[in-house]
Amino acid sequence: VGPGYVKLERGEYIQQVIDLRTHRRQTQIEAMTRDGIPLSATLRVDFHVRRLPPEEVPAGVPFPYDESAIFAICSFSSFGEGENEIPWTERVAPLAASAALTEISNYTLDEAYRHNFDTQRLRPLDMTRLQHQLKNLLNERLAPHGIAIADLSLYDISLPQDVLDQRIMNWQRKWEKRARVALTQRDADLAELIQQMQAGANIELVQQIMRNLEQIGWRGKDEWMDVVTLMSMDALEDAATDVSAEMPSQIWDTISELQVMAAQPPLLGAGDEHEHTAVDNDSP
């Protein structure tokens, strides 16, 4: 008859009172995954009488129910043992639990029980997809009975201890492998950096020797050149082995300087100058 004041005539009685508010029920379930792993969880479902679309809601109506849903709900109540009536509000949770058991059996444990990488929390649960599918499934089943599912959630999921221990071991191996790879890469980068620094130091050493020779002059160019050449070759070989180092321009600059200095005449001391002068005076 709808909400508000109702006057009963002689012989009339109230068959059922429909509560238009949102109802909440929860129950424990014991499910089995597709790969045979048992898990337990708490299932919570929020539901209400099917309501009108938002664009059809009259102003000032707190619970805009669909009138056609009232008659469907009245026939949804059933009788249990001892002819005790089971109201419609108590039939939704068992149906949701049955649907949850069937739906969970379609997934493996890894598919239904995931680590939450978004929050990085220790609670490795992500049942969003499963909950969404359950909600859609229940809405389809209960729509003919005038009931709409507002929300559904699975939480407090627990696994057998041996399964938890095995999963912890698997996660530990995974992160240990990542750590080993990271340490190996770090050591390789460090070794490459040290090699580059050594190659650069060798080149700088040869260049410094040549600068010193230019400043003080040299005698016996061939002997000095042998020393510089040997040191240069050692330095260039060390630098050339570091293929990743950006050294080519420095190496070729060093070789060019050696070639230029080898073509220059030796710098003479004071005694050498007098000796050459005496030879020139005796010449015809």
User: What pLDDT, on the 0 to 100 scale, is given for residue 279?
Assistant: 46
User: What pLDDT, on the 0 to 100 scale, is given for residue 74?
Assistant: 82
- Identify whether residues 223 and 261 lie together within a single domain: yes
Q: What is the CATH number of the domain that holds 143?
A: 3.30.479.30
Residue 164 belongs to some domain of the structure: no
User: What pLDDT, on the 0 to 100 scale, is given for residue 209?
Assistant: 66
Residue of higher predicted confidence among 15 and 257: 15
Sheet with 147-158: strands ordered across: 23-32, 38-49, 147-158
- Identify whether residues 94 and 145 lie together within a single domain: yes
99 lies in which domain range? 23-159
- Identify whether residues 92 and 216 lie together within a single domain: no
- Identify whether residues 64 and 125 lie together within a single domain: yes
Give the count of beta carbons closer than 10 Å to the beta carbon of residue 213.
17
User: What pLDDT, on the 0 to 100 scale, is given for residue 170?
Assistant: 72
Going by C-alpha positions, the residue among 157, 141, 138, 143 that lies closest to residue 46 is 138
Span 104-115, mean pLDDT?
Answer: 77
Residue 135 has pLDDT above 60, yes or no: yes
Say whether 28 sits in a helix, a strand or coil. strand
Residue 242 belongs to some domain of the structure: yes
Residue 280 belongs to some domain of the structure: no
Residue 177 belongs to some domain of the structure: no
Residue 180 belongs to some domain of the structure: no
Residue range 33-57, pLDDT digits in tens = 898 889 899 999 999 999 988 788 7
Total domains, the chain:
2
Identify the bridge partners of residue 38 per DSSP, sorted by sequence position.
32
- Identify whether residues 126 and 193 lie together within a single domain: no
Residue 253 belongs to some domain of the structure: yes
User: What pLDDT, on the 0 to 100 scale, is given for residue 176?
Assistant: 75
- Identify whether residues 48 and 126 lie together within a single domain: yes
Going by C-alpha positions, the residue among 92, 95, 113, 91 that lies closest to residue 104 is 113
Residue of higher predicted confidence among 161 and 151: 151
- Identify whether residues 196 and 153 lie together within a single domain: no
Residue 182 belongs to some domain of the structure: no
Residue of higher predicted confidence among 133 and 83: 133
83 falls in which pLDDT band (50, 70, 90)?
low
Tokens of 272: 């050498």
Alpha-carbon distances of 145 from 22, 40, 80, 89, rounded to whole Å:
16, 29, 19, 12
Q: How far apart are CA 17 and CA 168, in angstroms?
A: 52
User: What pLDDT, on the 0 to 100 scale, is given for residue 6?
Assistant: 75
Find the angle CA(262)-CA(263)-CA(265) to the nearest 5 degrees.
95
Residue 1 has pLDDT above 70, yes or no: no
Helix axes 128-142, 92-104, angle to 10 degrees: 130
- Identify whether residues 223 and 122 lie together within a single domain: no
pTM for this predicted structure = 0.54
- Identify whether residues 154 and 27 lie together within a single domain: yes
Residue range 177-205, pLDDT digits in tens = 877 788 888 878 877 777 777 666 666 66
Residue 169 belongs to some domain of the structure: no
